[in-house]
Structure 1
């Protein structure tokens, strides 16, 4: 999996790293138990500060997507660690609420928002290219 950093993005670099790793897991490009580069290695590969990568990795660990071990390194967490919990559902509800609110403010119809969500979901299920739908 290749991570692309967009320095012009409105999203912080650590969020871009986080989001692309989650996309990689969703697309099946990253499998449970698979090793990721160390914080230092990822920072070097991307040409960014290691504290930025560390922040993204720590967020992913907190959210259950990664496990960070001193001896084993950074690995993709097993599926059972990534299952939705009440906090996830509440947070997702808030995020959806904000997407809908912004869509309404920008004059985007309910049908268009629904279509975009369905298309994006189907793209992930098929393991396809998400560049048009990603948040980086």
Structure 2
């Protein structure tokens, strides 16, 4: 999996890294049980501070995407990612809410907004069947 970080972005680097790993899992570029680089190795490979990688990994661990073993290292959760529950759906709604509000302010139609969502969903679905 290729990691591409925008060091000029207002989005924190650890958040970018976390989302790219999640995208890799969603696209089946990284599969359950697969090992990920150690914190030190990944930090050195992409040229960022190891604490940044550690923060991304810790959040991924808390959210059930990865497991961190002292002997085995970092692996994608072999049981797969936990399914969406009520808490996740609440978080999803809270995340989407300001995006919809801004879209309405910018005269983006519901159809245009939903089309963007469909296109993004299709990116991940293509990853499932094409890899």
Q: TM-score range by the shorter chain?
A: over 0.9
Matched position secondary structure for 1:55:
helix
Structure 2 CA distance for aligned equivalents of residues 17 and 81 of structure 1: 17
Aligned residues: 128
Structure 2 CA distance for aligned equivalents of residues 5 and 119 of structure 1: 22
- 2:13 maps to 1:13: yes
After TM superposition, give the deviation of residue 82 of structure 1 in Å. 2.3
1:131 matched residue in structure 2 = none
2:106 matched residue in structure 1 = 106
Structure 2 CA distance for aligned equivalents of residues 58 and 35 of structure 1: 15
Structure 2 CA distance for aligned equivalents of residues 113 and 124 of structure 1: 18
- The answer to whether the 8 A contact 2:32-2:80 is kept is no
Once the two structures are overlaid, the 10-residue window that deviates more, 89-98 or 53-62, is 89-98
Matched position secondary structure for 1:74:
strand
Taking the TM superposition and a 5 Å limit, the aligned residue runs for 1:1-136 are 1-127=1-127
Structure 1 CA distance for aligned equivalents of residues 79 and 9 of structure 2: 30
After TM superposition, give the deviation of residue 16 of structure 1 in Å. 0.6
C-alpha distance after superposition, 1:66-93 (max 9, x if no partner): 1111111000013444211221111001
Structure 2 CA distance for aligned equivalents of residues 19 and 106 of structure 1: 26
Structure 1 CA distance for aligned equivalents of residues 103 and 84 of structure 2: 26
Once the two structures are overlaid, the 10-residue window that deviates more, 12-21 or 86-95, is 86-95
Q: What's the TM-score, normalizing by structure 1? A: 0.89
Unaligned runs of 5+ in 1: 129-136
- 4+ residue segments displaced more than 2 Å: 78-82
Matched position secondary structure for 1:127:
helix
Structure 2 CA distance for aligned equivalents of residues 122 and 89 of structure 1: 20
